[in-house]
Structure 1
């Protein structure tokens, strides 16, 4: 709740960035549609007052609300200025951080929020940042009574809630899930902003740090219930979907596994094994992807190679990533489907004494791929 001490219920930090503009527009839309008494005071924040004002002006024009710019406050602050971050956090109940890559720019915002009593939300898809923030700040956040919530967008709400939904729908105990993401594009094709590409480049280039972090955590292994879920080959064929697939990079596996650990250790629920894949279509797409993957894995190993990958995302990704990002038409025509194929045991059947005897298929659909999905789960069980 907003108070005199904290005048803003929500502050969108990085509102003038590519993602921040859409977040700002969505918050504004919700406020326009809300009843008068339920509207919440909010603000936008970033380095340039002029750019933030332009974002509000565009949102006002698109939503047909000319008074919007005068209703939303602007806070000028910068990642490189901790005092300005503190001042922002002191005024907010919740800070929604849209400034990435988070491995470079996320921690100062997390720290400022905790020290100044504001909760923090981001849309990060970087496993190393997410796990590092948990180990460094979980106890401090709990002491302050604030929440630090990562991956609250396309990465990784559909995957995390999809597994929980599947577990709730199975008639028995769910033990393993394979998830397949399919992205559907319109006539103008698919394009993704290079912010996602940068996160992938830096993540692969520094994967040893993530491995080291996990070793140092020395976590007790989560028990495996039922047969161990076998990992597929780097390129495999999914008969159920009639498509080739590759392992899905990003935060989904990390987030789902940490959720399952929490549910097991704190709520004594049976943990679910999880694997995630991206469908890529037919053999022609597989060949193109293999070439792109080989180039990527070669260049990402070296500093100069990473610089080239970041400078020319369109070239090295065969046109799927660009510095300009998708057009509005491309975003409007893009959607996604996540299929969850699960297995487990019926009620009264012991995992120690038999093979899985229940299978279930659910799906999560939504507009966009990288935007805020509207989940439409649909179960099927056998």
Structure 2
């Protein structure tokens, strides 16, 4: 399979790849925009077996669960942006994570995950994965020593999330991937949803797989759910049969079409997200109501130097603590916010904010003990507000928030 550079040219810039990656002029209609192909079944070019086990790429598309031309165009666009050999899209970000975890790990394997990561992943790991005989350890992925100490002979996967949700800690991908590969770990996975392909290229830093929730920045408009796994073609071909055909969490072609349209503007949107987020973060740092601000682009972030080395864009995600009780402020936000929406999710063109209480999340999601719980309390205090800065003007975002403090 051609590499991104071979297919699209050595010198194409990311703005061009975002628009033209995976796209082509329709040879029949000369349509400039990508087609939306909603058919669930296709007439094969040649005789092929009834089972997906017998499908051959040369026969063309057979059934949308195993492959669809609109979804494939999105996959090729994401490959162009991420610099990967191949990609497989799924119905949601957690469907993509589930597909990769269950498609690569077996009973008796061991995997290492961050102490702090996306709640849906954390709950799946703690509540579901043990039933399948797969053992999981949680490590402080900001520490090379902690990750190295957690690796065992049976460790098959190291999962990193950077920046992580919701504390915005970073993992040094290059350093941790080198260490883990050197100790025999097969798969280094990076959930790069917060960073996007505009901010970080994990594969260039040594990762084997990259995961994105396409519902967030890449789709960008809060109107379509999706997820993707990117990596080597051989690995994803093997994953496709089990995770796509057998698990069945496939993406709707309509969602793929919407996300592809959003991805075309990702580079310019991420520049605007970063610009507005930096202005809001600086305003928050000066606001007497605010106790602490976490934003990788601020010099006050404890890993700001790593962010400058590893990220080309600091994204639009901010976490902050307040002096006043967060629940009281959150109640006022529900009543008073006019432009910023008090709602879950992130990465949309509109700003979103949500209160994440420490005790609630310790009970439901992370369940840390010992030093891990102490680290979590140090980071979170009694809780944090997670703010996804949208594309509104920073002055309007700040004015809206200020009415609630």
Q: Counting strand residues as a fraction of each chain, which structure ranks higher?
A: 1
Q: Same fold (TM over 0.5)?
A: no
TM interval, shorter chain, is under 0.3
Give TM-score, length-normalised by structure 2: 0.25
Give TM-score, length-normalised by structure 1: 0.26
